[in-house]
Amino acid sequence: MERIQRRKSLQLRNQQAAWQESNDGQSMMEFRRSLPAQKERQSLLEAISQNQVVVVSGETGCGKTTQLPQYILESEIEAARGATCSIICTQPRRISAISVSERVAAERGEKIGESVGYKVRLEGMRGRDTRLLFCTTGVLLRRLLVDRSLKGVTHVIVDEIHERGMNEDFLLIVLKDLLPRRPELRLVLMSATLNAEMFSSYFGGAPMIHIPGFTYPVRSRFLEDILEVTGHRLTPYNQIDDYGQEKSWKMQKQALRKRKSQIASVVEDAVKAADLRDYSPQTRDSLSCWNPDSIGFNLIENVLCHICQKERDGAVLVFMTGWDDINTLKDQLQSNPLLGDPSKVLLLACHGSMASSEQKLIFDKPEPGVRKIVLATNLAETSITINDVVFVVDCGKAKETSYDALNNTPCLLPTWISKASARQRRGRAGRVQSGECFHLYPQCVYNVFADYQLPELLRTPLQSLCLQIKSLRLGSISEFLSRALQSPESLSVPFFSLFVTTITNFVLCAFR
Ligand SMILES: Nc1ncnc2c1ncn2[C@@H]1O[C@H](COP(=O)(O)OP(=O)(O)OP(=O)(O)O)[C@@H](O)[C@H]1O
Q: Where does the pLDDT of residue 477 fall: very low under 50, low under 70, confident under 90, or very high at 90 and above?
A: confident
| Superfamily of domain 1-211 in the CATH hierarchy | P-loop containing nucleotide triphosphate hydrolases (3.40.50.300)
Q: Are strands 371-376 and 315-319 parallel, antiparallel or unpaired?
A: parallel
Instruction: For ligand 1, say whether the CB of 192 is within 6 Å of any of its atoms.
Output: yes
* Residue closest to 345 by CA, chosen among 353, 333, 356, 357: 333
Ligand 1 nearest-atom number relative to CA 431:
29
CATH of domain 218-457: 3.40.50.300
Express each pLDDT in 439-469 by its tens digit. Answer: 999 998 899 898 888 888 887 777 777 877 8
Asked if residues 37 and 62 have their Cβ atoms less than 8 Å apart, the reply is yes
Annotate 235-253 with b (16+ C-beta within 10 A) or e (fewer): eeebbbbebeeeeeeeeee
Mean pLDDT of 478-506: 64
**Mean pLDDT across the stretch 100-109?**
96
C-alpha 421: how far from its chain's center? 9
| Domain ranges, ordered by start, for the chain | 1-211, 218-457, 462-511
In this predicted structure, what is the pLDDT of residue 5?
87
The reported pLDDT for the residue numbered 502 is 52
The CA 387 to ligand 1 mean position distance, Å, reads: 9
| Residue nearest atom 14 of ligand 1, based on CA coordinates | 63
Q: Which of 106-120, 286-300, 472-486 has the highest mean pLDDT?
A: 106-120
Alpha helices, H only, 127-262? 137-146, 166-178, 196-202, 223-230, 247-260
Query: Band of the pLDDT at 388, cuts 50, 70, 90?
Result: very high
pLDDT at 248 exceeding the cut of 70: no
- Count how many residues are written for the chain: 512
Q: How far is the CA of 384 from the centre of ligand 1 (A)?
A: 7
In this predicted structure, the answer to whether residue 260 has a pLDDT above a threshold of 50 is no
414 or 435, higher pLDDT: 435
pLDDT digits (tens, 9 = 90+) for 134-167: 999 999 998 988 898 999 999 999 998 888 888 8
pLDDT by residue (tens digit) across 6-26? 999 999 999 999 999 999 999
Do 222 and 192 touch, CB atoms closer than 8 A? Answer: no
Mean pLDDT lowest among 260-274, 278-292, 401-415: 260-274
Best mutation site among 103, 107, 163, 190 for ligand 1 pocket (most ligand atoms within 8 Å of CB) = 103
Pocket test of ligand 1: the residue of 100, 112, 431 to mutate, having most ligand atoms within 8 Å of its CB, is 431
Output 108 or 444, whichever has higher pLDDT: 108
CA atoms within 13 A of residue 365's CA, in its CB half-sphere: 6
User: Taking residues 264-285, what's their average pLDDT?
Assistant: 76
pLDDT in the model for residue 509: 52
Nearest atom of ligand 1 to the alpha carbon of 211: 21
**274 pLDDT exceeds 90?**
no
35 lines ligand 1 (CB under 6 A): yes
Residue 415, pLDDT score: 85
Residue 257: is its pLDDT beyond 60?
Answer: no
Q: Do domains 1-211 and 218-457 have the same CATH topology?
A: yes
Which comes out higher in pLDDT, residue 491 or 273?
Answer: 273
Nearest to 198 by CA among 455, 376, 9: 455
* Displacement of CA 496 from its chain's centroid (Å): 30
Distance 345 CA to ligand 1 centre (A): 26
Residue 401, φ and ψ in degrees, nearest 5 = -70, 130
What's the pLDDT tens digit per position in 111-137?
999 999 999 988 899 998 999 999 999
Cβ 96 under 6 angstroms from ligand 1: no
Cβ contacts of 42 within 8 Å, gap of 6 or more: none
